[in-house]
Amino acid sequence: MNEEDARLKKKVRFIRKTLDHFYPNPEIPLSFKDPYTLLIAVLLSAQCTDKRVNAVTPVLFQLADTPEKMVKLSQKKIQSVIHSCGLSLTKSKNILLLSQKLISDFKGLVPSTFEELELLPGVGHKTASVVLMHAFKIPAFPVDTHIHRLAARWGLSSGKNVVETEKDLKRLFPKKDWEKLHLQLIYFGRNYCKALGHIPENCPICRQIHSF
């Protein structure tokens, strides 16, 4: 192992230890009861806070918590319920279309592969990763803006795009830790290593990371 690899390994150990200290048992911030309600919640979370999504989904799921019930609603009705989440026109359309596709192509069940999930309207790689990880316990490493920022800031990835960041993080951290680490990084990025007004000296990781 060369000196650079040794430094990176030491840095990774420090990051894991710090994240375990601040968030030993992180929980997924979205409320859901099954793969379908998780899928809808994640779709709604695009450019929206988890708090707002959690305020909206109980109302939506009281009306329809399965694909079969959802397709009985009009797009206008869905849009009126989810309006405060933003992008409501696109999101309501996708919720209706993906529910129809689940019924026609998957017997009303949310599929458990990347390939099949990404066939659903409005479902990209990150959304599919979250659903696979939290609903089906299939190892995945969704990279959001927080994780992308931290990986670049801490020198774990080139930070050019989320695809590269995901590959780099998967190489650095063991598969068994991906689910926990994904949540730890999100919480840490929101609370300690923010995008705006970030002061490295006040961040438990940034103030030491460059000494490695």
| Residues classed as catalytic | 126, 144
Q: Residue 45, class by beta-carbon neighbours within 10 Å (0-12 exposed, 13-18 middle, 19+ buried)? A: buried
Cα–Cα distance for residue pair 27/44, rounded to 1 Å:
18
Cα–Cα distance for residue pair 95/100, rounded to 1 Å:
9
Cα–Cα distance for residue pair 8/57, rounded to 1 Å:
41
Output DSSP code: residue 200: G
3-state SS string for 65-104: CCHHHHCCCCHHHHHHHHHHHCCHHHHHHHHHHHHHHHHH
CA 100 → CA 67, 73, 75, 81, 90, distances in Å? 7, 11, 12, 19, 15
Q: Residue 101, class by beta-carbon neighbours within 10 Å (0-12 exposed, 13-18 middle, 19+ buried)? A: middle
Cα–Cα distance for residue pair 100/14, rounded to 1 Å:
47
